[in-house]
Structure 1
Amino acid sequence: MSAIALHGPTTSMVLECRDDGPPLWRWWGGRLDAETLPALADLRAPASFSLDVDQPLALVPAYGAGWFGPAALRAHRGGRHSAHRFTTQDIDCGADAITVHLRDDAAGLTLVQRIAVAGDMLTLSATLTNNGDTPLSVDWLASGTLPLPHDCTAIRHFTGRHNAEFVEAVEPMPAQGWTREGRRGLTGHAGPPGLFVEGPGATRHAGRVHAAQLAWSGNHRLLLERDDEGYWVLQMGMALAPGEVSLAPGESLTTPDLLATCSNTGLNGAVQAFHAAIRARAPWPTEGMRPRPVHINSWEGFYFDHDEAALKALATRAADLGVERFVLDDGWFRGRDDDTAALGDWEPDARKYPDGLAPLATHVMDLGMEFGLWVEPEMINPDSDLYRAHPDWVLAVDGVPRITARNQLVLDLGRAVVRDHLFARLDALLTGLPIAYLKWDHNRDLAPAAGAEGRAAYVAQVSGVYDLLDRLGAAHPAVEIESCAGGGGRIDAGIAARTHRFWTSDCIDAVSRVSMQRGFLMFMPPEMMGAHVGAAPAHSTGRAQGMAFRAAVALPGHFGVELDPAEMAAEEAGLLAAGIARYKALRDRLHSGRVWLGEGPDGLVWQAHGEPDDLILHVTRVAPTTLRRPPPIVLPMLTGAGDVRVALLEIATVPGHPAPDAPLFAAMRGGGVVIGGDALATAGLPMPAMKAESVALFRLTRAS
């Protein structure tokens, strides 16, 4: 067999070359020697009721030419040339990448499929070019097509809505197909467009898992389909609106990247591969990521009620607690007293800030903190000076009402003139003020969404946002940007290449955040996860939790505060200050190395950050125990780790009425207890008694 292959440390992908068409998929999974695979022609006898020309799964499966599974391309010229037959023009092979150049002379197009490997992560993308002399309408172009084994058992994915992001769903493999399509114009509150496909007996820690996510912040389609030979085909790509993409002669369309990995160490292996890939894409400066500073955000403390003296007092109280960055949220700009007006008019409100924002920013910096600012550049209120001057700058469809959400419309970032205007306003703010951080919000779905020519503009909108972010990043490389969209509505690998942090959810209820943050960590690394201590009762749910628990739940992410410390009792403020100090002491370990997620008995959930020779173990109990004594939790990643020193750093819970303590845990609170790594991986780590809404925090290090 004439094979080309890419290999990761534990995985391989293999293509079989042929003379008259695109390479054929032979393998994607555990590492193997490609030369040991027999040729497909030696395996496939003629099958009943089949075409005389065999049609195995190709790298780029074509529509209408005998392959009846999902096609990588659906395109036509006024209804003609919709069936495609590709020939291979060239294949560029390197140690870490393969680029396949395909032609269809009858349809007048070329298609370039790229695959690269880094670690055990594949990155796939495609470019389609119209070589004809008439427009080419494109209905679908997959970023990549991947083969999955016949014995897959389940799909693990996420659903969600505003204030309820990352709701995990596990479904058995369907009889024939499964599709998830995002149509909101942005990523959506379910989380990144991605999934995990589990093999027989797969768990968090063992077994085969294929996983993929699309690096795109707009409409998307995830597709799994079973062929009549029992195997599965996976595709992902932009979901195009009717008539959205028409390529003029010579024009091209390039897909977003598809990130895909195969883990033979369960879900956690796939999670760790995702984290490594996102970290490699993140826009950190050359010297790398610095420790993630503790935030305070003014929103839930003040909302639109801005008063310069009160905000300076908030900054002072925050600095006393150990906060390192102060972020001024919505309400600072001209005419912005509620959410009905002024979006688009990005100048400080002289009524609230007679001398502009400089005095507040200077006060913040004099306290030793950085100054950050909330913006929502993509949006506009009809009641704004910008809209009155340029009502034609919004996404709209002729004859269709301009539907508002949160009293706002969406600016058309597909237009260069709109991007230029926004860049000028943001550049003026960043040049004129000592702004270290922008909280970049996006508070509505796109509907309707057509550009200046009346054509659907979802792709152009996302591309325009990327262009604006890239331009700002080049002009102000030291400024960090948070991606927020009504909370977690735009969390994906596409915008992760341009922003430094995500706002996980507008819901800061600590109990709700436990599952949300675990869902986030399935795709994204912890240092990008905005995790704040909110007020009690929580503004989104009305539930109240103790301060120690709230701070402990926020600990593993990028820690922040979303309340006014003036409203806290001295004891509660002390607990918050202690939580901030704990975060500062542990953040280097929490935000480097690998992450393992797990479940323990009796409702416990845990996560471990770092490496087996130095781990922060975070064990959470939400509901009361049903058992007299807690069973141990098994930590498989410590197999072969040798002797491990276990230190119990704290049990974050409501003070008073402590449970009886066994001698082992008293010793863990002292100098620590040495337990064999194999024992921790098999018999498990003994657990202290924990109340509902509490977190046990351990540090596990190699015993000297």
Structure 2
Amino acid sequence: MAITFDASKKIFKLDTVSTSYAFAVHSEGYLLHLYYGAYLPDNNLLSMLDRGMFASFSPDNPNCIASGFSPDVQPSEYSVNGTGDFRVSALQICNRNGDISTDVRYVSHRILAEKPALCGLPSLRDENGDSETLEVTTRDSVTGAVVKLYYTVYSDLPVMTRSAVIENDSDAVMELERVYSTCLELPTMDYDMVHLYGKWFKERTVTERPLCHGIQSIASKRGSSSHNHNPFVALKKHGSSEESGEVYGVNLVYSGNFAIDIEVDGFNTTRLIAGINPTDFTWRLEPGESFTAPEAVMVYTDKGVGEMSRIFHRTYRKHLIKSPWRDIERPVLINSWEAAYFDFDDDKLVAFAHEAAKMGVDMLVMDDGWFGHRNLDDSSLGDWYVNETKLKGGLAKLIDRVNAEGLKFGIWYEPEMISPDSDLYRAHPDWCLHVRGRENSPARMQYVLDMSRKDVRDNIFEQMCSVLQNNKIDYVKWDFNRNITEAGSALLPPERQKEIMHRFVLGTYELMDRFVKAFPDILFENCSGGGGRFDPGMLYYSPQIWCSDNTDAIERLTIQFGTSMCYPVSTFGAHVAARPRTPLSTRANVAMCGTFGYELDPRKLTEEEKAQVREQIQDYRKYNRLVREGDLYRLIAPTDDAFRCAWEFVSPDKNEAMLTSVVMRMPETMFYVQRLRGLDPEKLYTDTDTGEVYSGALLMNAGVNLTRAVYQDGESVVKHFVAK
């Protein structure tokens, strides 16, 4: 790892264990991108800026006419709008005159030994001084905008982060209309764009398409990162595969409205920008104020999409997730939702706990319906006091009874929401997001609280703290069950109303930060109707996220494979549910690719099924560290094969591996040999089920014969190998 500046060539070079990133300072102060890719020992890259002939329709810089320089064709390190570059812009500022011409030039730089935190935003952390950060200061001499660009590289991983801070160093107000976090220039268009699309119940399906001339985008303007698109994109070189070829990955550490735009121009070059969605966004910057853009995480590898994913996984496990639960075996929990929905009382929950304890479950989670007078989804959000009609002895007595069965206790909240039928709404109708003169649009019979307001956050914090401090609660599921409409705040003046979407996210982060600091030992699990906020911003505050409300094992294969493109398996909230399309064993094998738990009524299981559950929980404990810390290899993607799906975990020392294969639909033939990946070819591995011994070379090149193991619809098999 090293960040250097060649003063003679005016070239910055940022090196990781296997990559290099370089850009230059032009004689007129422009920052021009030179290279991002495999490690380079030198920086002789200035020739990369020669773009040949360009038309007179591309404007010159008046001081560079003789050299043939035009902002319209040069690779910009942080593109701006209105001063000669007509491609997608990372930054656009409306100044005191009302125009949007923006032009930032190099002023100075610093190389920092420690990574600075981002004000009010989650970001990757520096552990034990294993990172360096480059701060480059630029300035727009006309508007007085100072733009500081931040680049961080790590000593242990081929990963880089980018962010930007805009400061108003003038005596007049300016308005930020576009503030993206990163801008990446590539000298070719020979890439396929890989991203994750979906909807509720069907999140994060992998799709890809070749880049073409024009602009290709993914975005959310729903108030969250959303079920529909994830703030992640990969560009893989044509012909690249899961285990070979060049791949660039970009993931935004943000939980709100985002946009990732990719433009291919007439020179066949590619520009990618990622950041806050400029739709419905403006930020008013008073003199002396600053604005911080979210962090973008960037990965390059020439070893395929799978290696890109593994780099993201290692990075997030070490440098993003900060919960003490990150490196600890998570409790096997049973959640009441699909077992009872709203129809429960204290006796029913204790009966669940009684049966679950006999099978080895660690925790009972009481889901939606325990507060206010909530018996359906039409009331009481915001009234976080116990419904003692349901829980007749109160919450403390219920927890005592559950603890007496040997189980810990968890609880469900939806802190950012409010029901029209609630004491809180009746007392404070202006506390929800709303637009004057317009009716609020209900969704799931609820509105959204104005999280930009400190008084709102304080009220929710105090209500929840009253419950969490006075009861023995070990787990909190934090839900968010609708998109944002009528996004207005009663406290913001008209000129600041377009700040509300970002202010909402900042408020949610601030509230979450308060909770994880006040209750450091509680295991927080994020949720948004399942996977509607599965993003790095949420992982900063909670080490796991409920992957999807869809608990069908076959459907989960596509969802979990897509999620694994950039998020570690240890973050996947995954449960065994009462969905009989697949055997109980397969439901457990799929949930094992995640945090593992149960979402069913344990009283309805047969004795044979209860015995299976006991064995499944023993297997979870046996394989937990391998799944939590191991490298994931996606062997057969559910979107690439009509019949089978397979994946493998390999321990960091390559001494242990676990293969899982699932039949989605009966194939035409029983014959099936599966090759493994990631093993040490020189080591000998024992199949712990059969006792057979194979070399790593044999398992990777010849494979393991599963012909008689998996053939019928819904069947699955797990093979465990340990090095001798």
TM-score strictly above 0.5: yes
**1:492/1:471 CA distance change after superposition, 3 Å:** same
User: 1-side partners of 2:715 and 2:670: how far apart?
Assistant: 17
User: 1-side partners of 2:690 and 2:700: how far apart?
Assistant: 23
Q: Indicate which of 104, 111, 130 corresponds to 1:86.
A: 104
User: 1-side partners of 2:642 and 2:441: how far apart?
Assistant: 48
Tell me whether 1:62 sits opposite 2:103 in the alignment: no
Task: Return the offset for 1:100.
Answer: 0.6
Q: Indicate which of 17, 20, 23 corresponds to 1:12.
A: 20
What corresponds to 1:664 in structure 2? Answer: none
Q: Indicate which of 11, 32, 48 corresponds to 1:24.
A: 32
Conserved in 2, the CA contact under 8 Å of 1:81 and 1:107? no
Task: Return the offset for 1:330.
Answer: 0.7
User: 2-side partners of 1:295 and 1:191: how far apart?
Assistant: 29
User: 2-side partners of 1:479 and 1:286: how far apart?
Assistant: 9
User: 2-side partners of 1:399 and 1:644: how far apart?
Assistant: 72
Tell me whether 1:670 sits opposite 2:690 in the alignment: yes
User: 1-side partners of 2:176 and 2:194: how far apart?
Assistant: 30
What corresponds to 1:474 in structure 2? Answer: 517
Tell me whether 1:584 sits opposite 2:621 in the alignment: yes
What corresponds to 1:484 in structure 2? Answer: 527
Question: Which AA in structure 2 matches 1:671?
Answer: G
| Cα deviation code 1:120-155 (max 9, x no counterpart) | 111111111122333212211110101234153311
Q: Indicate which of 449, 462, 468 corresponds to 1:424.
A: 462
Q: Indicate which of 554, 559, 562 corresponds to 2:599.
A: 562
**1:266/1:79 CA distance change after superposition, 3 Å:** farther
What corresponds to 1:548 in structure 2? Answer: 585
What corresponds to 1:100 in structure 2? Answer: 136
Aligned ranges 1:376-525 → 2 under 5 Å: 376-452=414-490, 453=492, 455-456=497-498, 457-525=500-568
User: 1-side partners of 2:311 and 2:226: how far apart?
Assistant: 23
Task: Return the offset for 1:571.
Answer: 1.4
Tell me whether 1:316 sits opposite 2:336 in the alignment: no
Aligned ranges 1:287-306 → 2 under 5 Å: 289-306=327-344
User: 2-side partners of 1:85 and 1:186: how far apart?
Assistant: 31
- DSSP 3-state at the match of 1:206: coil
User: 2-side partners of 1:236 and 1:79: how far apart?
Assistant: 28
User: 1-side partners of 2:200 and 2:331: how far apart?
Assistant: 26
Give the count of matched residue pairs: 673
Question: Which AA in structure 2 matches 1:67?
Answer: D
**Structure 1 gaps, min length 5:** 538-543, 650-668
Task: Return the offset for 1:305.
Answer: 1.4
**1:14/1:389 CA distance change after superposition, 3 Å:** same
User: 1-side partners of 2:51 and 2:162: how far apart?
Assistant: 28
Aligned ranges 1:196-235 → 2 under 5 Å: 196-235=234-273
User: 2-side partners of 1:596 and 1:387: how far apart?
Assistant: 49
User: 2-side partners of 1:397 and 1:264: how far apart?
Assistant: 50
Aligned ranges 1:92-171 → 2 under 5 Å: 92-94=110-112, 96-118=132-154, 119-171=157-209
**1:285/1:342 CA distance change after superposition, 3 Å:** closer
Tell me whether 1:245 sits opposite 2:287 in the alignment: no
User: 1-side partners of 2:634 and 2:412: how far apart?
Assistant: 33
User: 2-side partners of 1:198 and 1:243: how far apart?
Assistant: 31
Conserved in 1, the CA contact under 8 Å of 2:317 and 2:326? no
Task: Return the offset for 1:307.
Answer: 1.4
Task: Return the offset for 1:501.
Answer: 1.1
Conserved in 2, the CA contact under 8 Å of 1:6 and 1:97? no
**1:288/1:481 CA distance change after superposition, 3 Å:** closer
**1:44/1:234 CA distance change after superposition, 3 Å:** closer
| Cα deviation code 1:489-522 (max 9, x no counterpart) | 0110011101121111111111111111111111
Q: Indicate which of 600, 607, 615 corresponds to 2:647.
A: 607
What corresponds to 2:662 in structure 1? Answer: 620
User: 2-side partners of 1:243 and 1:571: how far apart?
Assistant: 57
User: 2-side partners of 1:483 and 1:473: how far apart?
Assistant: 12
Aligned ranges 1:235-384 → 2 under 5 Å: 235-242=273-280, 244-285=282-323, 289-384=327-422
Task: Return the offset for 1:241.
Answer: 4.1
| Cα deviation code 1:240-259 (max 9, x no counterpart) | 34454211222221111101
Question: Which AA in structure 2 matches 1:587?
Answer: N
TM-score (norm 1): 0.92
| Cα deviation code 1:507-562 (max 9, x no counterpart) | 1111111111111111211111011011134xxxxxx2211111111112100100
What corresponds to 1:653 in structure 2? Answer: none
What corresponds to 1:637 in structure 2? Answer: 678
Task: Return the offset for 1:278.
Answer: 1.6
| Cα deviation code 1:547-591 (max 9, x no counterpart) | 111111111210010011111221122222221221111111111
- DSSP 3-state at the match of 2:207: strand
Deviates more, 1:593-602 or 1:564-573: 593-602
User: 2-side partners of 1:74 and 1:505: how far apart?
Assistant: 37
**1:38/1:22 CA distance change after superposition, 3 Å:** closer
Conserved in 2, the CA contact under 8 Å of 1:591 and 1:609? no
Conserved in 2, the CA contact under 8 Å of 1:165 and 1:190? yes
- DSSP 3-state at the match of 1:35: coil
**1:33/1:228 CA distance change after superposition, 3 Å:** farther
Question: Which AA in structure 1 matches 2:85?
Answer: W
Task: Return the offset for 1:688.
Answer: 3.1
User: 1-side partners of 2:48 and 2:605: how far apart?
Assistant: 70
Q: Indicate which of 697, 700, 703 corresponds to 2:721.
A: 700
Conserved in 2, the CA contact under 8 Å of 1:191 and 1:488? no
TM-score (norm 2): 0.90
Conserved in 2, the CA contact under 8 Å of 1:114 and 1:124? yes
User: 2-side partners of 1:280 and 1:419: how far apart?
Assistant: 30
Task: Return the offset for 1:286.
Answer: 5.9
User: 2-side partners of 1:360 and 1:395: how far apart?
Assistant: 35
Task: Return the offset for 1:96.
Answer: 2.5
What corresponds to 1:574 in structure 2? Answer: 611
User: 2-side partners of 1:526 and 1:592: how far apart?
Assistant: 9
Q: Indicate which of 78, 87, 91 corresponds to 1:73.
A: 91
**1:60/1:628 CA distance change after superposition, 3 Å:** closer
Q: Output the aligned Cα RMSD.
A: 1.9
Task: Return the offset for 1:22.
Answer: 3.7
Task: Return the offset for 1:383.
Answer: 0.5
Conserved in 2, the CA contact under 8 Å of 1:589 and 1:610? yes
Conserved in 2, the CA contact under 8 Å of 1:608 and 1:618? yes
User: 2-side partners of 1:92 and 1:286: how far apart?
Assistant: 33
- DSSP 3-state at the match of 2:705: coil
- Identity percentage over the alignment? 30
User: 2-side partners of 1:241 and 1:633: how far apart?
Assistant: 47
User: 2-side partners of 1:529 and 1:288: how far apart?
Assistant: 12
Conserved in 2, the CA contact under 8 Å of 1:81 and 1:106? no
Conserved in 1, the CA contact under 8 Å of 2:204 and 2:230? no
User: 1-side partners of 2:549 and 2:215: how far apart?
Assistant: 34
User: 2-side partners of 1:448 and 1:682: how far apart?
Assistant: 58
What corresponds to 1:654 in structure 2? Answer: none
| Cα deviation code 1:274-315 (max 9, x no counterpart) | 112221344445695210111100111111112111111111
- DSSP 3-state at the match of 2:394: coil
Tell me whether 1:530 sits opposite 2:573 in the alignment: yes
User: 1-side partners of 2:140 and 2:320: how far apart?
Assistant: 37
Question: Which AA in structure 1 matches 2:101?
Answer: A
User: 2-side partners of 1:208 and 1:39: how far apart?
Assistant: 22
Deviates more, 1:17-26 or 1:423-432: 17-26
Task: Return the offset for 1:45.
Answer: 4.6
Deviates more, 1:433-442 or 1:128-137: 128-137
User: 2-side partners of 1:302 and 1:401: how far apart?
Assistant: 34
Conserved in 1, the CA contact under 8 Å of 2:441 and 2:485? yes
